[in-house]
Amino acid sequence: MMIRAFTASLALAVAAAPALADNPQFQGADPHAMMIDGELWVFPTGGPGGSWAADRFGAFASRDLRTWQPRGELLRREQIGWIGDDGAREHFLWAPGVATRDGKWYLYYSVGPQNPTPSRIGVAVADRPQGPYRDSGRPLVTGGAGFEAIDPMVFVDPKDGRAYLYAGGSAGATLRVWELTPDMTHIAREVRVTTPPRFTEGAFMHERDGVYYLSYSHGRFNGPDYSVHYATAPSPVGPWRYRGAILSSDATHKGPGHHSFVRGPRGEWLIVYHRWERPVGRAPYIGERQVAIDRVRYAADGRIERVLMTDGAAAPTLAR
């Protein structure tokens, strides 16, 4: 029932006219954001009118963070030939991560739930960001032995061009990192890293002025302790120096997390994340999460300052 509702609502969103938005921007979760040809693209779990129990991925783009255009379907569950190989009764898609290299686009995604069989991470390839994406034909990473293979994020190091896959969390709360082959669809090797303090899930890597920032979610996704913390390192694989929390619940917005950092057209930094808007009752919260976008500021010594969550017209726009 939830899958059918999501399918119908996403189809309507794709066909609908552009939606005007401030914070929160639109319904969805786990947003991976990128600047593409002057637009900010968001690749979420679900989307306007959708549900986390997803059977497909879509994308949404904006030039001003006020008007959002749907960019159609990227990949559907039935297009993943290996998805039923584990024999589980049902499968959901969530937490996409997108990367690009040499004119190709790569969609990394989670397939779960973790039980009764291990979760898996897949990858699909396209010639343009809106797809269509063609699945690689096999899982890239499979969970097990206390590791939950979820929340993939791929970072290409601007210094040497190496691509790293970050994944893991929730059950076991373990971070693992792999170097990918140049074709972005195979594992070259695993890089042994230490899981940073207060890590739960949703790792994201970005680099600024030679400093590598590993940020991630802490806490239960449907509770008030869900928050974003970060650590810094001299390389994409550590060693990590824990720096604290930068995004956490306030009086009206609860459980902000599973985020991405993106740099705007004038060099300004933004954080794109999901949150619960004035949830009714105590945790665990029910309903749908909302995607929001807020400003990121760095101190003179490179520390990320606490992020202030905004509402309505106080939300940032894309400077030009």
pLDDT greater than 60 at residue 5:
no
Sign of CA dihedral 108, 111, 117, 118: positive
Nearest residue to 275 (alpha-carbon basis) of 226, 237, 207, 315: 226
Q: What is the pLDDT of residue 171?
A: 79
Band the pLDDT of 21: cuts 50, 70, 90.
confident
270, β-bridge pairs: 262, 295
Band the pLDDT of 54: cuts 50, 70, 90.
confident
Q: What is the pLDDT of residues 66-85, one digit of tens each?
A: 999 999 899 999 999 999 99
Decide the pairing of beta strands 92-101 and 120-126.
Answer: unpaired
Q: What is the pLDDT of residue 18?
A: 60
Q: Express as a percent the part of the chain with pLDDT over 90.
A: 86
Band the pLDDT of 11: cuts 50, 70, 90.
very low
Asked whether 245 and 196 are in contact (CB, 8 A), the reply is no
The one-letter amino acid at 51? S
Q: What is the pLDDT of residues 250-275, one digit of tens each?
A: 999 999 999 999 999 999 999 999 99
29, β-bridge pairs: 45
Q: What is the pLDDT of residues 110-127, one digit of tens each?
A: 999 898 999 999 999 999
Burial of 283 by CB count in 10 Å (0-12 exposed, 13-18 middle, 19+ buried)?
Answer: middle
263, β-bridge pairs: 269
Q: What is the pLDDT of residues 168-197, one digit of tens each?
A: 998 789 999 999 999 999 999 999 999 999
pLDDT greater than 60 at residue 233:
yes
Concatenating the DSSP letter of every residue in 182-206 gives TTSSSEEEEE--PPPTT--EEEEEE
Structural domains in the chain? 2-83+91-296 (2.115.10.20)
Q: Order the strands of the 211-218 sheet from edge to edge.
A: 201-208, 211-218, 227-233, 241-247
Q: What is the pLDDT of residue 4?
A: 36
Q: What is the pLDDT of residue 3?
A: 37
More reliable by pLDDT, 4 or 93: 93
Mean pLDDT, the chain, integer: 92
164, β-bridge pairs: 155, 179
